Amino acid sequence: MLKKTLMVSAIAATSLVSVGAYAQSYNTPVRDNGLSYTYGQLGYDHWDYDHGPDVDVLYGEGSFALDEHLFLRGGLALYDGDYDSPGHDDVDGNRIYGGLGVHTPLQRNLDLVGTADVIRDDNDFDDNEWGYRLRAGLRHQTTQALQLSGGAVYEDIYDGNFGVYGQALVNVTPVIDVGARATVKDDSDTIGVFGRYNF
């Protein structure tokens, strides 16, 4: 399973790099929108499963720009879940993930962004599982202090799920942002808030 996951993630990462290189070579009018891809952030998420637990999550994640198009990313999440119905055990665990991202400007203040992550989930209910997540979307500098992002996501861990995601990022100081994010997938919804430090 791990070998298959790593192969899929490597293929996805290669595809993302190719898309970014193609878009850049297609006479993009803006070379760099100046959006930060090197940062660390801490946050809280709430996972709401359709036929499962409500889960509270504390996480830390970061991103590091390798050049003007590629960045590494990773994170660690600690979670605790409670079932609404009696007769089910509560679930708690951790999730670690890491991967590669690519971004390229489509026009002024608008970036195309794609990421591919490998995920390892370890909990006291289903033991542990390896999986992956693919995302593709847009990141827009909407005003001087506000960025909006959104796109499509596919995640395969325990089972496969398609969905959409959105994020709002508010600039508080030159290096500090606060934000909110949401994801709606086939069998779960996520909503969260976070603080970010840009390096």
Q: What is the mean pLDDT of the chain?
A: 86
Strand partners, 57: 45, 79
Domain boundaries along the sequence of the chain = 2-198
What residues contact residue 131 under an 8 Å CB cut-off, 6+ apart?
A: 5, 118, 119, 120, 121, 155, 156, 157, 158
Domain 2-198: which CATH number of 3.90.1300.10, 2.40.160.20, 3.90.420.10, 2.40.440.10: 2.40.160.20
Q: For 42-95, what is each residue's pLDDT tens digit?
A: 999 999 988 778 899 999 999 999 999 999 999 999 999 887 766 666 788 999
For the entire predicted model, the pTM comes to: 0.81
What percent of the chain is modeled with pLDDT above 90? 69
Looking at residue 88, what is its pLDDT?
65
Q: For 28-49, what is each residue's pLDDT tens digit?
A: 567 889 999 999 999 999 999 8
Estimate to the nearest angstrom the gap between the alpha carbon of 138 and the chain centroid. Answer: 13
